[in-house]
Copies of this chain bind each other. A is one copy, B any other.
Amino acid sequence: MMKEMLENVKKQCPLVHNITNYVTVNDCANALLACGGSPIMSDDIEEVEEITSICGGLNINIGTLNQNTIPSMYKAGMKANELSHPVVLDPVGAGASALRTNTAMGLIEKLDIAVIRGNISEIKTLALGSGTTRGVDADISDRVTRDNLQQSVAFAKEFSKRSGAVIAITGAIDIVADKEKAYCIFNGDPMMGIITGTGCQLSAITAAYVTANPDKPLEAAAAAVCLMGVCGEKALERMGEDDGNSSYRNYIIDAIYRMTGEELEERAKVEIY
């Protein structure tokens, strides 16, 4: 399944419109290229509908949202919905400010979102109206563990049912769920949290995956999450004694570029619930 998802991206080279933050935007563009997609970044209200129209999918990331870009997110999202393009939402820092929480919630309400991808604190904020977001990173008290996995899966399925979106919660254990089925993914490494933007890159890649696999958003999102985790592991294996988080960042994107469908299948550690 993973193999098919990956190869559809490489074959179709989906063009993804990104309204994203200025912190990790370059990595998002290079990660999209690495996985076989093609990025375009555009956030001005006068052009977002046109740009979305020539693309296959839309990735909305609220990492550095502002008064100018928020209306563009709505406008692009509505156009994407009209054209049946999948929309991915990355609610960076939801819970850290009312502006972030309200924007993410407003987008979920107004738009038909294909995948919401965030850390557990962000997703809890959106699902429960609470959560303990520590800046843009997940709070430790929220973390998904083996002990609370069943409960976390149920939570994700329930939020998927209510929102209509596939829910991708990423962390030490990743959960990708629709209302009926959840993929729990055990790939990845804590080192991925020591570079900025692995989550943002994953959201951009997820947009490429759901665009190239339009009938299978759950499987496509799970494959994207798994890809990121496996590449985090591969990058770690490559680390030399002088390497730190900057080289690690490069190695992850390099690994995405090199990944094949076969290797992804082979290295995937997935349980289905």
Contacts and interface: CB of A to CB of B under 8 A. Distances in A.
A194 B50 contact: no
A44 interface: yes
Interface in A18-75: 21-27, 29-30, 33-34, 38-47, 50-51, 54-55, 63-68
A50 B96 contact: yes
A98 B46 CA distance: 9
B245 A135 contact: no
Given A22-B22, A39-B196, A254 B250 contact: no
Nearest to A231: B244
Interface stretch (A165-173, A176-184, A255-263): A255-263
A246 B250 contact: yes
B40 A96 contact: yes
Interface in A96-140: 96-100, 134-137
Interface residues of A, number: 63
Contact of A136 (B40, B43, B135): B40
Contacts of A217: none
A197 interface: yes
16 contacts: A22-B25, A23-B29, A24-B29, A26-B196, A38-B135, A39-B136, A40-B135, A42-B93, A43-B64, A44-B65, A44-B67, A47-B98, A50-B98, A51-B135, A244-B254, A245-B254
Interface of A: 15, 21-27, 29-30, 33-34, 38-47, 50-51, 54-55, 63-68, 93, 96-100, 134-137, 194-197, 238, 242-247, 249-258
Given A30-B245, A51-B97, A245-B254, 11 more contacts: A23-B29, A30-B195, A33-B196, A34-B245, A41-B64, A43-B66, A44-B99, A46-B67, A242-B258, A244-B257, A250-B250
Closest 6 CB pairs of A and B: A244-B257, A244-B254, A246-B253, A29-B196, A47-B97, A47-B99
